[in-house]
Amino acid sequence: MDELGLSDASVAIIRAGQSPSGAYIASPAFSQYGYAWLRDGSFCALAMQAAGETGSAERFHRWALRAIGPQVARADAIAADLAAGREVPPARMLPTRYRLDGTEESGAKQWPNFQLDGYGTWLTALWSFYGPDLPPRCAAVVRAVASYLAAAWRTPCFDYWEENAEHVHTSTLAAIAAGLRAAARMTGEGCWNDAADAVMAYLADHCVADGAFVKGTADRRVDGSLVSLAVPFGLVGLHDPRFEATVGRIRSELSSPSGGIRRYVGDDYYGGSPWVLLTAWLGWYDRLTGDDAAYQRSLVWVLDHAGPGGTLPEQVVSEPQLPAFVPQWEQRWGPVADPLLWSHAQYLLLRLGKGPLTWES
């Protein structure tokens, strides 16, 4: 399949995966992913916006506002408790994953659902969509989410990958800082900029080792999601020496033999195989920096791993770093998610995504 064909297929797959409610399902063909993650959905909205499918992006944001709206009082209470130094258990924190109808997941089989990155990513995508023309009905929800993030950002939570709940994660802090900057611009309230500055100062002090950004405050490994610091969040420059060193580590430590990008060294989920979305994400950065050879390598890799009908999986299990874990996960949950809407979103952003967001006043 060529570039244009996969772009058309990606738009169609994301559109088909959008519920009538406006939510984007994580994957329509994987039993564990039948929910709407704020993070995944926000990247889908950014991708559909880049592809000219603005109606789809707006339906997602309207769904998110309906889902989060009932959480405003809860968010305010959590923020007040945290500001007063009172401990808030993870189960009371806001969920980052909702049912497609916008209600909160519940039940005995519920799995980890406390992540902060989704709310920051959503505020950033909302700002990208509306800019300074935020509908008045959105303001109360934006303020509540920003207040929640400003109070909770030091709280350990699950990372992008639903792991390491006891740690503070660099990619999570980046999403929070970007979300707070977006809230400042949408509301005109500078306090959220001050909060974002505090997050970034902490990140610079605690999440850099040997001149490169690392996975978290307690983890010196590199993670493929760290590309988010520059693209799309614009929190560091594309040529910031710390970021260039981070990208160098991603290429040297996380590349599979064929050039796909893995999440991190030691990952055992489906063998720690290369992820389509991370490979596309790095290629997006390469396109923006003018490294056409690296961009083309990522582009061709993604094209080569598209399935029949242009479906893109979550990861490619033919190149695991820990092969013994592939059959274990397949026995537990079946084959990898295919299609994964976030993979299609990152492919569209690889080809069509704009440069980093800018936060100058």
Catalytic residues: 159, 162, 314
Helix (H, G, I), strand (E, B) or coil at 62: helix
DSSP one-letter string for 259-295: S-B-SSTT--GGGTPPBHHHHHHHHHHHHHHT-HHHH
Q: Which region holds residue 52: left if phi is over 0, alpha if psi is between -120 and 50, else beta?
A: left
Query: Which among 325, 282, 280, 335 is positioned nearest to 302, based on CA atoms?
Result: 280
The whole-angstrom separation of Cα 135 and Cα 84 is 32
**Start-to-end Cα distance in the chain:** 43
- Peptide bond before residue 339 is cis, with ω within 30 degrees of 0: yes
Specify which residues 41 forms β-bridges with: none
Query: Which among 61, 228, 73, 91 is positioned nearest to 143, based on CA atoms?
Result: 73
Neighbours of 246 (CB within 10 A): 24
Helix (H, G, I), strand (E, B) or coil at 213: strand
| Strand 97-98 to 36-37 pairing | antiparallel
The whole-angstrom separation of Cα 30 and Cα 107 is 19
